Every structure is written in C-alpha cells, then in structure tokens.
Amino acid sequence: MDLEEITSILRLIKLNPLSIVGIAIVATFITLGIISPYIVPYPADAWGYSYNLETRLLPPSSKYLFGTDEMGRDLFSRVLLGTRFSLIIAIGVVGIALAIGIVVGLIAGYMGGSIAMILMRITDMFLAFPPLLLAIAFAATLGRGLVNVIIALALSWWPWYARLIYIQVNSVKNLPFIDAARVIGLSTTKIMFRHILPNSLTPIIIQAALDMGSAILEAAGLSFLGIGVPPPIPEWGLLISQGWALINRAWWLSLFPGIAIVITVIGFNLLADTFQEIMDPRLRSTMVMRGI
Amino acid sequence: MRILKYGVSRTVLISIVIAIIVIASVVGYYIFAIMGQPQVKRSMVIFASISEMTTADPSTEFSNSIRWLPLVYEPLLWYDPLKDEFIPALAERYESKDEGRTWVFYIRRGAKFHDGTPVTAYAVKLSIERTIALGQGAAFIWSPVEEIEVVDDYTVVFRLKYPAPLDKIAASAYGAYIFSPKVVELAGAKNLTDPKVAEWFNRGNDAGSGPYRLAKWEPETEVILEKWPDWWGWKLPDYPLKSDKAPDIYILKIIKDAVTQERLLLAGDIDVAQYVPLEDIEKLKSDPRLKVVVKPSFQNLLMLINTKKPPLDNILVRRAIAHAIPYEDIVKIARSGLARIASGPIPYGMWGHFDNLTYTYNLDLAKKLLAEAGYPNGIDRTLLLVYTAGDIYEKRTAELIAINLAKIGINVEIRPMSWEEQWALAQRGWEDPEAVQDLFLFYWWPTYITPFDFLYNMFHSDSKAFNLCYYENPEFEKLIIEASILEGYDEAKALELYYKAQKILYEDVPAVPLWDMIYVEVGSKRVGNLDKAINPAYPTAIFAQVLSIEE
Amino acid sequence: MPINREYIVKRAISLIFVVLGVIVITFIITRVIPARPELLWAGPHATIEQIERARRELHLDKPIHIQLWYYFTDLFTGNWGISWRTRMPILPSILGALPATLELVVFAFILAIAIGIPLGISAAIRRGSSVDNIIRIFSVSGASTPVFWLALLLQLVLCNWLGLLPAAKRVDEYIVLSTGFRPITGFYIIDSLIQGNMLVFIDVVKRIFLPAIVLSLYPMCLSIRMTRALTLEVLSELHVRSSIAWGIPRNRVLYRYVLKNVLAPVIASLGLSFGYTVVGAFMVEIIFVWPGIGYYTAMSLLSYDYPAIIGCIIFVAILYSIINTIVDLIHAIIDPRVKL
C-alpha cells in the first residue's frame, strides 16, 4: 500500500463520521480488553473473589459507577473486566472459524472437481442450520466453559468463510497471473497461500470484522440460555442473565452489561461498513449482518 | 433529482402518517373496548409453578406433580408436622398394635372416587399394592409392609415386618395416594401394573377421590383443576381441610422464573407466586394488594464432603472447613435472610431437630484446626465444589464458601453442573473417590416426615445413591436403624438415639449443613387462608380446598 | 406467468438434500461427539436398567452406519424420543407448540416489513441527510442489540414501570375460561376472530405486541438496509428518471417502480432472517412466557433435556430449510428477473 492509497483511505474515513465512531469504539474495546485487568477499580470484585454485606444492590453512584450486585460487588469493575472475555471470545471464534474456512475454501476452490463438490456439499449442510442453532447444539453437547463456547461458535461458523473463500478463489484462479505462477512451476500450496489467498481476502476481512461483533452477541445469547460461559466469569451475557433475576429491584445489573454489548457490536458493524466502503464499494448490501 | 426527491419523500411521509393513524385508531379502539367491557369475575385461582409437571401417575410420581396431586387424590391421613398431628383423610381413624407391627385403618364411609365408585378397603389395598409392585418413585416408603389385609369393606390392616411409624408413611407426600380400581377397566388394561394404566393417567385422566378433578393436563404449560362438588369433605361441617369459599377452578401455570412470576402477580395475571426474587420481599410486603406468607420448610442445603479423598479424609480438616463457613452471611446474601442457619441435618421445625448443632464461624479456630491436621500453610490442592447450574441460591452460597475457605488457605474451584452430570460424577465416588468432586452442594427434603429419611439417605453406607459423602460409620448406622424401629412405638427413646446419631455427625463432619429453607409464597389479597393452605410436609403444594376467595 | 418446472424440481431436490444433511450433522453431534450418548439420553436419576434401555433404543450396540439408518427411520416415523424433563414424546410437544411460535414470528415479520420498508425508502430518498443518518444508525444499532436484553428492558419499562402492556403470557386464563374460548387452529388471533370472541382477540393482540416488536427488530433492520440499498439502485435507473420526464404523477412513480422492484427481493431476503428470528424467539419466548417452540427449547436447555434439545434443533432446522425453499419459489414466481 503506497502513501497515496493511504491518504485516500484516510480521506474517505474523514468524510464519514460514523466510520470514525466505529474505529474509535473498536480501538477502545481492544485496548480495554488488554489492559482492563490492570485498571479495574475493584479487582477482587471484578474476578468475583470478594463480597460485602454492606454494599449489596446499591444503585449507580460516583463510588460505584454502575451500582453493585447482590454480593455487594462493583458492577463497573465486572463489566470492565468483561471486555477481556469478550475480546477472547471474538478473536477465538473468528480465528478458529477463519482457519478452518480458509483451508476448506482454498482446497475446494483451487482443486475443483469432486473434491470441491464434496467439501461444498458439507459446507452447505452446515449452512442449512439457522445461525446460532448449530452453536446451541454443539454447546449443549460439549457442556459449559469458555473454551467450549468458543469451539461451539467456531464450529458453526467456518462454513460461512469456506463458502466465501471458495467463491473468491473461483473468481481469481483463472486470472492470468495465476496461470503464470503455475507455468513457472510454483507448488500448489504456494500458489494457494501466496497468490490466491491474498487476492481473495477483501470480503473475508469485512465479514470477519462484522463477525467479531456477532461472536460477542452470540456468546451472550448462549450465556443467556444457560449453556455459555460459567460464573463467576463476568461475561456480559452472563451478567445480563444474572441481573434478570433481580431486574425489578436492581435494573442496573442488566442494563449496563447490555449497553456494553450494544456499543461494542455497533463499533464492529460500523467498522465493517467502513472497510466495505474503502475496499470494495460494489459489495454493498451483499454482506449479511448477523444478529440474535 | 430534486423534484423527485421531494415528491417521493412526501408520499412516503403521508403513507407513514396514515399508517400511524390507522395503528393509533386500532389501538385506541381496543383500549376503549377494554374499558367498556366489564371484567368477568369467576372464582378462580392461578398459581404459578416454577417447574413443569412430571407424571400424573399417583403411584410413581416423585417430583413436581405434588403441586396438584394432593388436591385430586387423598391418602389415608394427612400430617401436620408443625403441630405434630394427623388429620383424617380417607381413613377416619386408625390404631396401632403389637408395638407398631400392626396398623388398622378404618375407611371413611361415603367417600367416592371421581368415577363414582365408593372408596373401600379393597381400593386402598390395590392402590398401595400397585405402588409397591411398580417399585418406582417413593415406593420404598412401604418397605416395612409385610401384607395388607382387607377385613371388611371399611377396615384394612397392615402387618409389618418390623415396627415402623405407618401413620407417617401413610401420610407421605409421595406414593401414598389411593385411587379407583376402575382404572384397569377405563384404561383397557389387563391389570393395575399394566403400563396402559400409567399411559391412561398421563393422558390427563384422574382416578382420585379429592376435592378437585383434573380438567386440563398440559404438563409443560398449564394444568387446570375443577372443583368436584361430590367430595365428602365439602359436606362435613367441621372438617379442617376445606373452605366454603374454595375456588371453583384452580390453574397451575408454569412460569419458570421468579422475576416473571413477580411481574405477573403485580399485574394481577396470577394470584399466587411461589418464587419471587427474595430481595424484593420487603417491597412486596408493603404492597396493599398482596400478602406475603412465610413458612418454615423441611428442605435444607448441605455441603457434602468427600470423606474418602485426602486431605478431606482427615476429620480435623473437615472441622476446619466447617468453622470457616460464614453461615450468617450466606443466609443474608444467598437467601436475603429467608432461611435459618442449619443446626444439624434435620431442618428446623421437624421432630428430631436439635438447636445446639450449629458450627461457629471462626477463622482462627479453623486455621488452628488446619494446623493441627498438619496443614499450617493451607492445602496445596485446589478443591472442586460442584453445584446445580441455574440455582442462584446455590450459586451464591458456593461463591461465599469459596471466598472464605481461601482465607484459611484452601482454594476452591466452583463448578456449575447440570444435576445429572453432577450426580453421575458423584456416583463414581464409591468406586474411585479420588476422581470425583471434593464438595457437593446438595438439597434434601423428606419423602415422609422422619429424621430417618435424612440420616439414612445421606449418611448410611447402604444408600449408595445419595450418600455422596461416602461416609461409613457402623456405630452411626446401628443407631439410626434402631431409632427408626423405635419410632413405631417409643418416640422418646427414638428421639434420644436420633440425637446421638446427629452428635456423631457433628463431630465427624461428613457434611456441613448450611441452611434450612424458609418458603415464601406471595398471594393477592383476595386469596384468603393462603397460610393455612401450605404444609411443609407436602412441599410446594397448595391445598386449594382450604383457600377462601374474596370477591 | 410460466412457472419453470425444472427450477421447482431442482429446488425440491436440494431441499431433500439439505434435510438429509441436517439429520446427518445432528447424528454426528448426538452420537459421535459425546463419549457415552446413552447417559445424555437417559437423563438424571437414570437407573442402570434405564441406561441400558436408552442404549438399546439408540442402537448403540450396532455399527455406526446401521445406527444412522435407524436414526433416519426413527425421525421419519415420528419417533423422536422421550423428553426426560416431562417424560412425554418430543415430536407431539413440538408440534403442539408450533402455532404459538408461528403466530408470533408472522406478526413480527408483518411489523418488520410494514415499518422497515417505508423507513428504508425514505432513507434512500434522502440519502446523506440527517434522516438517512438517523435511520442508518437505528438499523445498525438494532442489529447490534441482543434481543433478550431489549426484551428485558422493554418489559421492565413498558409493563412494570408504566403499566402500558401486559407483562407476559399469551392469553389471560380468566378471559379464556369465562368466555368459553376454544383453540381451533392454535393461532389465537384467528381462532378468536372465527369465534367472534372480541375479549380474547383484544387480549391476544395486546399480549403479542411487545414480544413481536422485540423479535421484529432484527428483520426490520435488515429490511431497512436492503430497501435502502435497492431503492438507491432503482432510483438511479434511467427509466425512472425518464418516466418523471414524461409526467407520470410522483406517487405512482414510487409505487410502480420503487416498491414493486424492492418488495420482492426484500421479502426474499427476510427468508434468511427467519432463522435468526426463530432462534431469537428462544430467548424472547422465555422472557414473555410464550408457550411456543422457543419456550420449549429454552426450558429444555435450562434443564439439559438432551433428547428434547436435539429434537427442537432438528425441527427448527428443517422448518427453516422448508421456509427458505418456499420463499425462493415465491420469489422466482413473482419476480421473473430471478435467474432460474
């Protein structure tokens, strides 16, 4: 990417305030995800190592920004630490799904023939499930746990990438430069990863950015259904569902973790919109936004 | 493009405005229509049940259907454990002979089943024999019974293998209901134990003799009971278990969470909520439309300790743990004060409960005990505490235990598990105690009201299914078996032995009793007698026949 | 309009294929991944005998391809197993809960289309204006909101604090019993109209409104985005501009060219979001005590009722495939431009 390109991208971003908002949200989210364990005001509260009879169910105040829960813990600390777990989930899910998807999509796209048919038929079978439903099935079978949630979501997600990459590879593989690479005798793997993959990445990056947000949303959904991350991990969906039990008395317990989810996911969605505008405006409206 | 831009947008705006007007007028019409309609008043009570119903078969049911079984079916006797007295049901009176080995029940004349056949000694014999023969659910309560003999139509004699309190057994919340022998015919079955009979029950049919009959059976969403005007009790002027203003229709609505129950109650959509968020009780108490009923229950929460897995096989370590648990804080935080600190495994209010079996919360003592046991710096292994996922009281209790045990150098990992996983894991402990949990949060409540039920099931080594402390103590086992036999004819002596047995448990600490639950029911004001309709011997049931509906 | 038979046959075959795929995948999830499937199947408190029976019922003693064969035949003969939560056969329970869910989802989709398409069109027409930005922000944030959270908050504010709408339940039992209402089709709105029972009808509409609004949020946002994008395309097409030049009244331009071109693809795209909506119903129904498939599934999940969970997943996945196929076919019929 040369200087000219970068400046033109910057100009585009500058034109759209929503893009700036998106980038700011995502940057903040990632930063907090990394540093939150070191900056939470009440670390013992955040990790669930403490309780306090005197401070049960206090409404938001300057001392406890988001109020306190039924164990007398500071909710702000817990929500803040929750960014770390949401970040882990987002990266874990998209990372694993992407890895499987890329391998399957590349092989199917490049090899073609019956291998492609078999692989894409398998992909189609997975895609026949409504989103999240398959993740529910996997999560219910695997049992509760942070890692299990990530695996369950990734297993239900890779086909989206596999198909996307398959389509991309098909559109790229007969271009002249690939033929040229083949003629000079480069190995198949090399062609796939050095030449085809980089040229098919654009829509995948957009989808991945979009999916970071969706991963957070869907993990929260699993937690709400009781098959997600176990307590005392302060995952946002779990905080909401625990707050539900006390919502008539302490509305803040469900409100704030939910706001955290909404803001983060909006950030990723806006970011994806921005990528789309920059990289390939023609893709407008072909992307699927996931949601719960 | 400018012309188009304005032109089209105006059209859109107009269509939106029209849509809003249409919607508003429709909504307005509805609201108007509702205001105009008089509210129809029927003598009806809607009761919110936290869990769905299980089977409708009175012989095998051992779970949630207790919420309606005692309204549709009757046992021989009812038992009021708080007053320690029996209320006659299908048996008008009874007597015991031969030091509790023979029991004679005199059946009420004039009682009929819903199908019209009279309740006779023969029906009693057949009902109980079916329960025993099926051997499921609570059938084990009848294990002392040698034979059931019909003397005449209205006299039935139970001969026992060994003395046992058969009156309490006959008043059991499960497995003691009498039903019409006509079910065989109605179900088109060969005999009573034919699976067709159970199927017939589970299609929503009933064969009881109680004040209500089953009108609608949708075990996952709602069960509707209808008053049965021919019940003998309605005609008996002094019968304590009835009211002249009992509801005509009693609906059990399954609403699986406390918040929604509370909300529906406040909106007048339901009349009685059994589970509301405990933190809200104070607020609900001050609501003039509602009445909060608080009653002791015989359900308690214990922490079972794996007594076979080091270092928990050391009595001193177990005692240290018992003294490192903040009982008061747990009751306040986990149950918002709506529980009693446990004193021994027998819950408060029950015969056999003693007040001096509570452990003190004393971290210094706990540290000292741990040092004596040879662990002055705490335990180097992380203990695993399992509890049932979804139960917020257990969850909070578990967290508080973990936080406090950490203070004496014992690290605890708490893990929510589904009940069956948890139980399957714990079952393996008898073969391989090393491979299973260290600590297990465990609810218990009795099938029929006897201390033996608690002591045997959780602490006797023959009870492999529920003795998940893996505790074996021959002296203790001898004491409780002896006490249970004495209970049939010498209660004072039995009580003494039960005390000795509990004292042994107190010293050995195979389990730490944490709290005895206090049940809370919140009803709308128009439902009178709610407190009388609750009986801890029949947990979660509401005797609707006792309710008095004010209109 | 000629209907392309070949296309329909092709679509039907692919539907069969997809359904088989769904079955195979659930088979793998239930029988191959767990170490001892019979334990999951037999449920809590299972005796050794019950576990042994579950083993026989699942044919676990047979080779894997035979197991798969039995799995297929069981599903097609309606033998979906017994829920250990309720001890009832699963398929009848699901079918009994279906009308409640369909009623809710259809209501939600009507709301989504009725609100989403006008908003999308007006955003497109005022592209770049503040109205456009507000609608875009709404559509992005709507798709970023967890439905269960929104449901909790709306219920708290609208029902608990303001008392505007009933908090939960599908219909009031008092009204049902006192007016003698009897479900016929299972769709209470239709049933109450057939019986001329206005009290029940009003109650049902009042109660369906809030859960339906919450559920409609996602398809609504999707249809706003789709409509906006498509309207922009349509507007930029030459013949629209030329028709203005010819003096056709403006509102007819809108209806003839924009709505007509936008409606079919938007509705088709909503077929996809049906999946999200049904899964969203899992959470919304549990909050509003709506006795549909979602409630049944969520309850099964909360108590780890494994056979019931898998039954629901198979059912919803098959339903989803069928609905997508139907939507595709309708789309193909009403929109001749779709490549057949």
- Distance from the Cα of residue B212 to its chain's centroid: 21
**Which residues in chain B (254-283) have CB-CB distances under 8 A to chain A?**
257-259, 262-263, 277, 279-280, 283
User: How far is B355 from A46, CA to CA, in rounded Å?
Assistant: 38
pLDDT of B85 strictly over 60: yes
Establish if C137 touches chain A: CB-CB under 8 angstroms.
yes
pLDDT in tens, A103-158: 998 888 888 888 888 888 888 888 888 878 889 988 888 877 899 999 999 998 89
Question: Which residues in chain C are closer than 8 Å to B202, comparing Cβ atoms?
Answer: 87-88
Give the start-to-end residue ranges of the domains of chain B: 10-65+210-271+526-549, 74-170, 296-518
Q: Which fold has domain C96-291?
A: MetI-like fold (1.10.3720)
Residue of chain B whose Cα is closest to the Cα of A251: B259
Q: Do A245 and B406 touch (CB under 8 A)?
A: no
The residue among B11, B43, B57 with the most chain C CBs within 10 A of its CB, best to mutate, is B11
Are C168 and B42 an interchain contact pair (Cβ–Cβ within 8 Å)? no
Under the banding of pLDDT at 50, 70 and 90, the label for residue B475 is very high
Both tokens of residue C237?
């097409």
C48 has a pLDDT exceeding 80: no
Best C144, C222, C288, C314 residue to mutate vs chain A (most A CBs within 10 Å): C144
Residue of B nearest to C117 (CA): B12
Contact B44 C177 (CB under 8 A): yes
Give the model's confidence band at B373: pLDDT under 50 very low, under 70 low, under 90 confident, else very high: very high
Is B390 an 8 Å CB contact of chain A? yes
The CATH number corresponding to B74-170 among 3.40.50.1000, 3.90.76.10, 3.30.1010.10, 3.40.640.10 equals: 3.90.76.10
Nearest CA in chain B to A232: B399
Into how many domains does chain A fold?
1
Closest residue of chain B to A247, computed from CA coordinates: B259
pLDDT at B64: 83
The Cα of C77 is separated from the nearest Cα of chain A by a number of Å equal to 22
* Closest-CA residue of chain B to A226: B390
Averaged over B219-240, what is the pLDDT? Answer: 91
pLDDT bracket for residue C28 (50, 70, 90): confident
39-98 of B, contacting C, C-beta below 8 A: 40, 42, 44, 46, 52-55
Q: Which residues of A touch B (CB under 8 A)?
A: 48-51, 53, 56-57, 70-72, 143-144, 226, 230-232, 242, 244-250
Tell me if B330 sits within 8 A of B403, measured CB to CB.
Answer: no
Assigned fold of B296-518:
Dipeptide-binding Protein; domain 3 (3.10.105)
- Digit-coded pLDDT (tens) for B393-436: 998 999 999 999 999 999 998 888 777 678 878 888 898 899 89
Q: Measure the CA angle with vertex A166, ends A162 and A168; round to 5°.
A: 120
pLDDT in tens, C219-238: 898 888 888 888 887 777 64
Q: Is the pLDDT of residue C70 over 90?
A: no
Q: Do domains B10-65+210-271+526-549 and B296-518 have the same CATH topology?
A: no
Domain assignment of residue A87, given as a range: 3-291
pLDDT in tens, C261-308: 777 778 777 777 888 888 888 889 988 888 899 888 888 887 777 888
**pLDDT tens sequence across B142-191:** 989 999 999 999 999 999 999 999 999 999 999 999 999 999 999 999 99
The pLDDT mean for chain A works out to: 84
Interface touch B263/C177, C-beta < 8 Å: no
CATH number, position A241: 1.10.3720.10
The residue ranges of chain A whose pLDDT is under 50 are 282-292
Chain C residues with CB under 8 Å of A270 CB are 140
Specify whether the CB–CB gap between C31 and C54 falls below 8 A: no
Do C317 and A128 make contact, defined as CB atoms within 8 angstroms?
Answer: yes
Mean pLDDT for C231-254 is 61
Give B23-65 pLDDT, tens digit per residue.
766 666 655 555 545 444 568 899 998 877 878 999 988 878 8
B511-524 and B527-528: which strand pairing?
Answer: unpaired
Whole-model pTM: value is 0.82
Q: Which helix (H) or strand (E) holds B204?
A: none
B333: closest chain A residue by CA: A71
Q: Please spell the DSSP secondary structure of chain A, one letter per residue.
A: --HHHHHHHHHHHHH-HHHHHHHHHHHHHHHHHHHHHHH-S-HHHHHT----GGGTTPPP-SSSTT-B-TTS-BHHHHHHHHHHHHHHHHHHHHHHHHHHHHHHHHHHHHH-HHHHHHHHHHHHHHHTSPTTHHHHHHHHHH-SSHHHHHHHHHHHHHHHHHHHHHHHHHHHTTSHHHHHHHHTT--HHHIIIIIIHHHHHHHHHHHHHHHHHHHHHHHHHHHHTTSSSPTTS--HHHHHHHHHTTTTT-THHHHHHHHHHHHHHHHHHHHHHHHHHHH-GGGTTTSPPP--
CATH fit for domain B10-65+210-271+526-549, picks 2.40.30.10, 2.170.190.11, 3.40.50.300, 3.40.190.10? 3.40.190.10
What are the chain A neighbours of B258 within 8 Å (beta carbons)?
Answer: 245
Mean pLDDT of chain B: 89
Beta bridge partner(s), residue B95: B104
CB contact under 8 A, B259 and A248: yes
